[in-house]
């Protein structure tokens, strides 16, 4: 459905995309993860035909984003991180305006707009002025706007940005529902635990490239060469955390009560020697085990290794 091959994009001396390649299957809910400046927004704007790449190729359903622009725009619904609203327009009028922009026939618009508003939980807001809606309602209305022309692909750049927990939960449920409807969804977000719940597959970007991609389970299990270790001791763990920070192969050491969690990049033999050192240091170890990474931990491990940390 979405295919990107060796894509490059530069802004002056800054390289935003550096030979990026990615494949997104039809019907997937695909998460794009990366720190600020990784190139997420750039690749999304190129896929939405708002920017041209300097090199490489990208297609959506076989249409080239640089040469088949009108066809691609008919296939894609794009929701940027920041979007404008029109003062003085009501919710219904806002969607009707975009339906007109897509040359949709007037007959049937009432049903279309009503259905979209129900889908994004704004069915009782059609007579409200857009600029008076809450941030969460505006985000959901922007998502409805993306769906006016019934696109096959949705490109959502930080759709939960700035939302409170309740509004994020509502947005998450809507995106899940769109996936069940068969839409292909490419979504970026800094709220990584929620992406892990929504997405079938994810890609982690760093420095304009994809460093790892695949099903969420595979990325969380294999992202980076480090493992996540949890040690529980009898007593407060702060002293142990300070010791671990000074040891080789450890990183991102966190103490919480009697537990210490940290990344470990040493061998299995090194790990055994570390446990002996902890015990010899006078710590009474209650538990010492590896845990499965969540998506945030996989991201930290992968990007840390890419940058030599």
CA distance 254 to 242: 10
Dist. CA 155–CA 196, nearest whole Å: 17
**Residue 21 and residue 83 share a domain:** yes
> In the 8-state DSSP scheme, what is residue 22?
E
Task: Mark whether 248 and 205 lie in a shared domain.
Answer: no
pTM: 0.77
Same domain? 240 vs 105: no
Same domain, yes or no: 128 and 275: no
Residues 103 and 48 in one domain: yes
Collapse the DSSP code of 79 into the 3-class scheme (helix H, G, I; strand E, B; otherwise coil) and give the result: strand
Residues 110 and 233 in one domain: no
**77 and 125 co-located in one domain:** yes
Residues 162 and 253 in one domain: no
Burial class (CB in 10 A: 0-12, 13-18, 19+), 259: middle
Residue 35, domain member (yes or no):
yes
Q: Is residue 308 in some structural domain?
A: no
Structural domain for 264, as ranges: 227-292
Q: Which of 162, 192, 222 is the last residue of a domain?
A: 222
Each residue's pLDDT expressed in tens, for the chain with a length of 309 residues = 999 999 999 999 999 999 999 999 999 999 998 888 899 999 999 999 999 999 999 999 999 999 999 999 999 999 998 777 677 899 999 999 999 999 999 999 999 999 999 999 999 999 999 988 988 899 999 999 999 999 999 999 988 877 888 888 888 899 989 989 999 999 998 777 778 888 989 998 989 999 888 888 777 765 455 678 889 999 878 999 999 998 888 877 889 889 998 888 788 888 899 999 999 999 999 999 887 666 777 777 676 654 544
Of 179, 196, 222, at which residue does a domain stop? 222
Quick check: is 297 in a domain? Answer: no
Neighbours of 22 (CB within 10 A): 20
CA distance 155 to 48: 8
**Count of domains in the chain?**
2
C-alpha dihedral, 209 to 214 to 219 to 221, nearest 10°: -150
In the chain, what are the helix, strand and coil shares in percent, each to the nearest 5? 35, 30, 35
């Amino acid at each position: 459905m979405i295919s990107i091959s060796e894509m490059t994009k530069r802004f002056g001396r800054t390289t935003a995309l550096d030979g990026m390649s990615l494949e997104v299957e039809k019907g997937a809910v695909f998460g794009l993860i990366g720190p600020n400046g990784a190139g997420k927004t750039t690749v999304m704007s190129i896929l939405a035909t708002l920017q041209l790449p300097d090199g490489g190729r990208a297609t959506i359903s076989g249409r080239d984003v640089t040469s088949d622009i009108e066809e691609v725009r008919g296939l894609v619904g794009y929701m940027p991180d920041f979007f404008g609203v029109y003062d003085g327009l009501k919710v219904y009028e806002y969607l009707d305006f975009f339906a007109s922009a897509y040359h949709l026939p007037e007959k049937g618009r009432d049903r279309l707009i009503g259905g979209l508003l129900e889908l994004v939980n704004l069915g009782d807001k059609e007579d409200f002025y857009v600029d008076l809606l809450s941030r969460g309602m505006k985000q959901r209305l922007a998502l409805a706007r993306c769906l006016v022309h019934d696109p096959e692909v949705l490109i959502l750049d930080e759709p939960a940005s700035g939302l409170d927990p309740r509004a994020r939960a509502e947005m998450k449920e809507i995106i899940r529902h769109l996936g069940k409807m068969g839409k292909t969804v490419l979504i970026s977000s800094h709220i990584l635990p929620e992406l892990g719940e929504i997405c079938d597959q994810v890609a982690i970007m760093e420095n304009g490239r994809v460093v790892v991609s695949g099903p969420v389970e595979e990325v969380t299990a294999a992202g980076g060469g480090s493992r996540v270790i949890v040690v529980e001791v009898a007593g407060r763990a702060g002293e142990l955390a300070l010791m671990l920070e000074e040891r080789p192969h450890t990183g991102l050491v966190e103490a919480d009560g009697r537990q210490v969690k940290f990344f470990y990049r040493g061998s299995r033999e090194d790990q055994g020697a570390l446990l002996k050192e902890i015990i010899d240091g006078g710590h009474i170890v209650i538990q010492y085990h590896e845990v499965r990474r969540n998506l945030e931990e996989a991201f930290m491990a992968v990007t840390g290794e890419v940058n030599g940390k």
